[in-house]
Structure 1
Amino acid sequence: MQASISTFNKQHPAFPSEFDLVVLTNNKGLIVTLSSYGASIWSVEHIGDDGVKVPLTIGYQQIEDWATNPYYFGVTVGRVANRIGQSRFSIGEEQFKLIENEGPNQLHGGPGGFSHRIWRTETKTNDDGVSAFFHLESADGDQGFPGTLHTSVEYRLTNDNELIINYHAVCDKTTPICLTNHTYWNLSSDELSGILYHHLQINADNILALDDQQIPNGDIQSVSNTCFDFRQPKLVGVDICEPSNGYDHYYIVNDHKADQLNFVAKLTDEASGREMEILSTEVGVQFYSGNFLDGSYRRENGEFINKHQGLCLETHGYPNAVNIEHFPTTIVEKNTPYTQTTVHRFKHL
């Protein structure tokens, strides 16, 4: 088997216009299906020596569900991932009011954020695999953010079973930029199984403390002697009832070194032996345990998508950093490139 790229142009009345599906395949049987709608991952699958295709992510059964995508399956999130408290922030003396979409707050870039846009597509064959690039222009004032922003996302699938996501953006005004991917992972061979019996390790001594609306309040909280301690591999389900509604928390990566890949997390399904390591240039990761998957939609196998059937490990900057001065800033100066790289390294497939 050789690495390959296939591109399909799609039309469907649920989508605002034509969009592309791109299928990346490496020489080890790993298959990544991408969509230009939301610059998103629709699926990651593996074909083993027995010829059986095993999904490593969860997605929708009906194509029209991808158009609304209430669970944010697989999308590129932007301009700013996670939550901005009260949907407002300031740059210097200038105040900006954003479009709300989670109570008074803005979540994942607003109701018309990057996850609900058609991106321009191109593909490329590399020495070590194959790539798909998605490009988007976001106008000045989009969702309340200043400046015209040009964003590119590259998904590179290597023959070493690495899925690398490279982000690049530049804006003609000073503006917040904080991008991530929102794929839900489930490495189990049992399609009915959720993620409670996955082992998870997160390289973090601390998390951000939250208020009652899931907004970081500026405090740092140690994971020691709490349910949030994943410094050693631990079953996801062991302490999941201790947080009020499961995990949806931001972990600060230990010993982060700028502009290089740092070990973030490792997810393991011991029944199958499958493992995924995450490395990133980002300072932290949002661990979300699929708490709001409510059975309203069906996944590819026809089963309802229920709570804790998949989990997200979203590498990005501190949430609500635009409103907390001592957090590492997510404000990027005008005409200054923003870059981010996250690597998903699969083992024992």
Structure 2
Amino acid sequence: MLLTPLLAFLPLLEAKHVEKVSPAALKEYTLAADGITASFIPFGARLKSLRVPDAGGAWREVNLGYADAQGYADEAAPSYYGAVIGRYANRIRNGTFTVDGVTSRIATNEHDGKNTLHGGRVGYDAREWSVLSANSSSVTFSLMDYGFEGFPGNVLALAQYSLSAGKLTTVLTAHALDRPTPILLTTHSYFNLGSDVSSTVLQDTLHVKASRVVGVDGILVPTGQLDYVAGTNGNERHPLNFTAPSAVSQALPAGLDHCFLFDRPSPLEVTEQLEWRSAATGIRMRVRTNQPAIQVYSCSMSDGSASTQLGKVERFGCMAIEPQGWIDGISHPEWLQNQVYSPGSAPFVNVAEYVFDTVEMGAGPSAVREETARDEL
């Protein structure tokens, strides 16, 4: 999408964060295509519902969220369900970073000020986005970020969602308008392909094309270490080794909350990097993206207290899938991840495709590995 025509509309794209979320921000925009339906709301540019057929042909809700959109506005603490995360996703140590010799101190909102999570106290998830366009198969939201939470400069962000046969495509774009600034956007959708959050995803099969993860400390802030996980410990697979299809339970007891670094060179094209299969419904989701990494969180902190349109979420009752850059890369120049964008430079662009179909129900990891090996021949 061209930036120049949009600049004329800047006065109309003013971001809103008010104590009471407006009814317009909670209006649903419903899209449909062959084998898939979805709905979105402007508050957080958020995915509210996603329905696909299971192996028996029954339509299933696979996205976690609230049945009533008012639930997002009424949250006492952010769930981030289905929202766009920005200006910088995941964690930044101490809420500080330096760009061109200038140190910025942004709002901290986790662990008594030890880090910034998902853009700060009021991130993109808690903002009222504008609707730029909408039709039966696509909707585009926009947000004018006037230095929110202490980030340098102004940024124009766009979130486009579109449906085609069995596929949801998200395109997140951000333009630095007047100063160099770090940008790292993602979507924070939680899924349960079994459509039942009272049951866990532990028997589902996960395949991630990544042999390394970002090492983190006790509060999940990156340490700078990159951990190799594709090997074995004696006869045991590393619990984070999903380079071949494996049961999600392999990551027990702690579960997953890790940034997987894909095994592919730059420049990055939109290619398949993750596959997830439900043992209960036969629904398969394949994720194709241009991003260099993906955060996978298996809802280990859920305790049955959170109510969603799929019911109360039990521990390991879902997984969040977040295609993005290397987390806290702005604090680790040794990684050589350029996450700073400047006026006049190419914009930040995050493309992700979620492709849904069905496979044999109940097929375990071994059968899936054999099928994957045949497909790769």
CA distance in 1, matches of 2:107, 2:197: 37
Q: Secondary structure at the match of 1:227?
A: coil
CA distance in 1, matches of 2:217, 2:284: 33
Shift in CA distance, 305/70, structure 1 to aligned 2, threshold 3 Å: farther
Q: Distance in 1 between matches of 2:51 and 2:194?
A: 12
Q: Provide the C-alpha distance between the structure 1 equivalents of 2:270 and 2:161, rounded to a whole number of angstroms.
A: 16
> Which blocks of at least 5 consecutive residues in structure 1 are unaligned?
1-12
- Structure 1 residue 57 displacement after superposition: 1.5
Cross-structure match for 1:274? 283
62, 69, 73: which one pairs with 1:56? 62
Q: Give the structure 2 partner of residue 115 of structure 1.
A: 125
Contact 1:124-1:132 at 8 Å conserved across structures: yes
What CA deviation, in whole Å up to 9, does each residue of 1:84-137 have, x standing for no partner?
A: 000000112211001011122000001111000111113355xxx811100000
Structure 1 counterpart of 2:368? none
Deviation digits for residues 221-263 of structure 1, max 9, x if unmatched?
Answer: 110222110011111113320xxx4211111001144241122
Q: Which residue is equivalent to 2:140?
A: 133
Name the CA distance, whole Å, in 2 between partners of 1:100 and 1:262: 34
**What corresponds to 1:3 in structure 2?**
none
* Count of residues in correspondence between the two structures: 328
Secondary structure of the 1:260 match is: coil
Paired residue for 1:347? 357
- Please state if 1:70 is matched with 2:78: yes
- How far apart in 2 are the matches of 1:345 and 1:256? 23
Counterpart amino acid of 1:122? L
- Which residue number corresponds to residue 230 of structure 1? 242
- Asked whether the equivalents of residues 282 and 316 of structure 1 are also in contact (C-alpha less than 8 Å), the reply is yes
Conserved 8 A contact 1:14-1:64: no
Task: Report the Cα offset of residue 66 of structure 1.
Answer: 1.1
1:162 is aligned with what amino acid? K
In structure 2, do the counterparts of structure 1 residues 274 and 258 end up closer, same or farther at CA, with 3 Å as the change threshold? same
Aligned to 1:5: none
Q: Would the aligned equivalents of 2:55 and 2:358 in 1 still touch at CA under 8 Å?
A: no
What TM-score do the two structures reach when normalised by structure 1? 0.88
Whichever residue aligns with residue 254 of structure 1, its letter is D
Structure 2 letter corresponding to 1:347: D
Change in Cα spacing, 1:107 to 1:191, as seen in structure 2 (3 Å) is: closer
Q: How far 1:315 moved relative to its partner? A: 0.8
Structure 1 counterpart of 2:62, one-letter code: L
Instruction: Give the 3 Å change call, closer, same or farther, for CA 153–348 of structure 1 in structure 2.
Output: same
Which residue of structure 1 lines up, in the alignment, with residue 116 of structure 2? 106
**Distance change in 2, residues 1:45/1:111 (3 Å):** same
Q: Paired residue for 1:211, among 207, 217, 221?
A: 217
For the structure 1 residues 262 and 313, does the alpha-carbon distance in structure 2 shift closer, same or farther, using more than 3 Å as the test?
same
Which residue in 2 is equivalent to 1:307? 315
Tell me which moved more, 32-41 or 329-338: 329-338
**1:334–1:197 CA distance, 2 compared to 1 (3 A):** same
User: 306-315 vs 331-340, which deviates more?
Assistant: 331-340
| Correspondence 1:2-151 to 2 at 5 A | 15-16=21-22, 18-19=24-25, 20-28=27-35, 30-46=36-52, 52-67=58-73, 68=75, 70-103=78-111, 104-125=114-135, 130-140=137-147, 142-151=148-157
Q: Give the aligned residue type for 1:113.
A: G
Tell me by how many angstroms 1:296 deviates.
Answer: 2.7
In structure 1, the partner of 2:206 is: 200
Query: 2:125 aligns to what SS in structure 1?
Result: helix
- Deviation of residue 58 (structure 1)? 1.6
Partner SS for 1:278: strand
Secondary structure of 2:350 counterpart: strand
SS in 2 for 1:228: coil
- CA distance in 2: counterparts of 1:63 and 1:344, whole angstroms: 23
Q: Tell me whether 1:326 sits opposite 2:338 in the alignment.
A: no
Distance 1:50 1:217, change over 3 A: closer
Residues 145-193 of structure 1, C-alpha deviation per residue, up to 9 Å, x if partnerless?
Answer: 011100101001012x111111111112100100000101111154532
Task: Specify the alignment match of 1:6 in structure 2.
Answer: none
Q: Higher helix share goes to which structure? A: 2
Superposition RMSD in Å: 2.1
Does residue 180 of structure 2 align to residue 180 of structure 1?
no
Structure 1 105/61 Cα, relative in aligned 2: closer, same or farther at 3 Å? Answer: same
| Equivalent-residue separation in structure 2 for 1:63 and 1:36 (angstroms) | 10
Q: Is the 8 A contact 1:157 1:164 kept in 2?
A: yes
Q: Which amino acid aligns with 1:248?
A: D
The alignment partner of 2:21 has SS state of coil
